[in-house]
Structure 1
Amino acid sequence: MRRRNLILGTAAAVALGGCASNPKLRRYDGPEVTFVVVNKAARRMHLLHHDRVLTSYDINLGFAPVGHKQFEGDGRTPEGLYRIDRRNPNSSFHLSLGISYPNVNDVAAAKSMGKSAGGDIFIHGQKNPFRKDDKDWTWGCISVTNDEIEDIYAMVRDGTLITLNA
Structure 2
Amino acid sequence: MIRRLSLLTGLILALGFGWWAWQNYGPRPEAPPLADTVQHVDLILIEKSAKRLTASRDGIAVLQMQVSLGFAPLGDKQHEGDGKTPEGLFSINRRNPRSSFHLSLGLDYPRPEDITRAKTEGVDPGGDIFIHGQPNSLGDMVTLPGDWTDGCIAVSNEQMERLWALVPIGTTVEIRP
Could you state the TM-score of these two structures normalised by the residue count of structure 2? 0.76
**Which of 139, 142, 149 is matched with 1:138 structurally?**
149
**Which of 108, 122, 141 is matched with 1:114 structurally?**
122
Note if contact 2:40-2:165 (Cα within 8 Å) is conserved in structure 1.
no
Could you state the TM-score of these two structures normalised by the residue count of structure 1? 0.80
Task: Determine helix, strand or coil for the equivalent of 2:119.
Answer: helix
Shift of 1:31: 4.3
The answer for the alignment partner of 2:43 in structure 1 is 35
Note if contact 2:143-2:156 (Cα within 8 Å) is conserved in structure 1.
no
Aligned equivalents of 1:92, 1:29: Cα separation in 2: 30
Structure 1 unaligned runs (5+)? 1-27
Which aligned pairs between 1:37-52 and structure 2 lie closer than 5 A? 37-52=45-60
**Which of 60, 79, 82 is matched with 1:74 structurally?**
82
Aligned equivalents of 2:143, 2:106: Cα separation in 1: 23
Task: Determine helix, strand or coil for the equivalent of 1:152.
Answer: helix
RMSD: 1.2
Between Structure 1 and Structure 2, how many residues are aligned? Answer: 139
Aligned equivalents of 2:89, 2:81: Cα separation in 1: 21
The answer for the alignment partner of 2:164 in structure 1 is 153
Shift of 1:32: 2.8
Shift of 1:109: 1.2
Identical aligned pairs, as a percentage? 45
Note if contact 1:84-1:158 (Cα within 8 Å) is conserved in structure 2.
yes
Aligned equivalents of 1:29, 1:107: Cα separation in 2: 39
What are the superposed Cα offsets for residues 83-133 of structure 1, whole Å, 9 maximum, x if unpaired? 000000000000000011100111111112211111100000001234341
Q: More helix per residue: 1 or 2?
A: 2
Task: Determine helix, strand or coil for the equivalent of 2:113.
Answer: helix
The answer for the alignment partner of 2:111 in structure 1 is 103
Shift of 1:134: 3.0
Structure 2 unaligned runs (5+)? 1-35
What are the superposed Cα offsets for residues 127-158 of structure 1, whole Å, 9 maximum, x if unpaired? 12343413010000000000110110110000
Note if contact 1:31-1:49 (Cα within 8 Å) is conserved in structure 2.
no
Task: Determine helix, strand or coil for the equivalent of 2:114.
Answer: helix
Aligned equivalents of 1:110, 1:132: Cα separation in 2: 33
What are the superposed Cα offsets for residues 30-85 of structure 1, whole Å, 9 maximum, x if unpaired? 24301110000000000011211001010000000000001111100000000000
Task: Determine helix, strand or coil for the equivalent of 1:53.
Answer: strand
